[in-house]
Homo-oligomer: A and B are copies of this chain.
């Protein structure tokens, strides 16, 4: 531990000439309840302060059966989208007197399972989890072992769990519809080849918008290779253009930014040669010569709500399953300006 020289309850008790129980009562504000003598209470408080007593959280947690810590597993904490969520989650949990243990899964089910184990071995009181592809078993395990948790950003329709995510279908629809309204017809959806609800939803929204506007014959979904995002994005943009695509919907901000590098390099004219809509935000969207239209997720609301749901599960011993979808907001900018 950080310091071996730390002073314990016993030390305070000895110095005050009382029992450890008294000290515990006083220092936990239960002097009323246990009718501790006023003077004794004062003395204990004074001595505790003098000795610079700091309770040992580990011992407390062990004894109380609650670590006052939650775990958060995201794909990559350095990704701006997750970093923003992390910050909001941190603030929300801190307000409740909890600490947050963050871990990254790299979209790898095995690594995610390992991170879950690591968090559980720290006896976290609950977990906020961005589940990755193929991690149903791990999620099922959490259900079986009755660990309070909430899925974030994605969920598994076949598993009855609490989750909080964007209404992805609606968002995918709005992104696509904006391009359609601007006069684009041959619109390509650029996503990951992931069998995960957020991706499926966004693609479904895209298809729906295309179909509703009699553009199904132009439906074109392309998948970025997650192992090699940069090159894969470049190739997809090139191929989409070659096949006559007039506009692209990017399913995530990482995809968008990587495609933008290629678009910028190649001098492709936005929006006249290619209309664009992205998801989330990135300063690249603002500084690209034609600012990028996008679907904004209400990150703070999402983080707060996910935390609320988690604590509901913690406090109710998972009695209620809450499945919440938030609404994205379309931000219109130059990259999806009306096609000439």
Residues of A within 8 A of B (CB): 1-5, 54-59, 61-62, 65-67, 69, 76-80, 83-84, 86-87, 90, 94, 99-104, 117-126, 145-148, 257, 260-261, 264, 282-284, 286-289
Between A and B, 24 residue pairs with Cβ closer than 8 Å are: A1-B66, A2-B145, A5-B146, A54-B117, A54-B120, A56-B62, A56-B121, A56-B123, A58-B61, A58-B67, A69-B122, A77-B86, A77-B90, A78-B83, A78-B84, A78-B86, A83-B83, A83-B86, A99-B103, A99-B122, A264-B287, A284-B286, A287-B289, A289-B289
Closest chain-B Cβ to A118's Cβ sits at a distance in Å of 6
Copies in the complex: 2
A103 to B93 Cα, complex, angstroms: 11
Contacts A54-B121, A69-B122, A123-B56; A3 near B145 (Cβ below 8 A): yes
> Contact: B120 with A102, CB < 8 Å?
no
Extra 19 A-B pairs, beta carbons < 8 Å, given A2-B125, A2-B126, A58-B67: A1-B66, A1-B67, A1-B125, A2-B148, A3-B147, A4-B65, A54-B117, A56-B62, A58-B62, A58-B122, A62-B62, A77-B87, A78-B80, A78-B87, A80-B83, A102-B102, A257-B283, A283-B283, A289-B289
Closest chain-B Cβ to A222's Cβ sits at a distance in Å of 22
Which chain B residue lies CB-closest to A288?
B287
A125 to B78 Cα, complex, angstroms: 24
Contacts A83-B80, A86-B78; A2 near B62 (Cβ below 8 A): no
Which chain B residue lies CB-closest to A98?
B118
> Contact: A123 with B283, CB < 8 Å?
no
Which chain B residue lies CB-closest to A65?
B1
Partner of A90, one of B55, B61, B69, B102: B102
Closest chain-B Cβ to A248's Cβ sits at a distance in Å of 17
> Contact: B124 with A2, CB < 8 Å?
yes
Which chain B residue lies CB-closest to A97?
B118
Contacts A65-B1, A65-B4; A121 near B86 (Cβ below 8 A): no
A118 to B284 Cα, complex, angstroms: 36
